[in-house]
Structure 1
Amino acid sequence: MSSKKKKRCHGVNILYIDGHSEDHRFFVDRLKQAFPDYRILEAFTGEIGREFLQRERIDCLVLELDLPDMSGFEFLTNSVQRIGSPYTPVVVLTRTHH
């Protein structure tokens, strides 16, 4: 069995990282509604997100750029090797307004 098939057999893990509690709850609720069979892992800081990357297989990362402990760009730069780039999709969110 190939590693890709093995991943599918164990379910899908989405890691959601966002330190803004209202947005965090909104998007996690929507992800759970849209993907009820997926496991949604939640982190409020980049550091907690890194801990998830070290101990879990992540199939998709949803990341807010404005984290309380670091920028989302810093998180990606320091974590891209751990998430299996270029194979792990990353969705980037931002609260930046013009």
Structure 2
Amino acid sequence: MNPNMEEITWSDWLDCNPETVQRVPENSGVFMMHAAMKILYIGASPNLRKSIMDSISNSCTKDAKRFKYSEQKNWESLKEQLIKEYQQKHEGKLPKCMC
């Protein structure tokens, strides 16, 4: 694991619904979405609330059951690192909704 990853403080896994997403801050950061304990999507955004809200109505990620997020200033590079680490654990494959 990259030493920078240990510094990430994630939210709890939260239910994917508009009421829960409304409580997400409008700050920059990274997020993950899953269904059946499989990561569907790894995202990053200058506005977490907007991006997660958009994702819960996306044709692929709408099936996500839960999400977690972390507020981060370096969200773009952190997303790339999270994707690389996911690929290392999954034979080079991307999450289902990132193919």
| TM-score for both structures, normalised by structure 1 | 0.35
User: Which of these two proteins has the greater Rg computed from alpha carbons?
Assistant: 1
| TM-score for both structures, normalised by structure 2 | 0.35
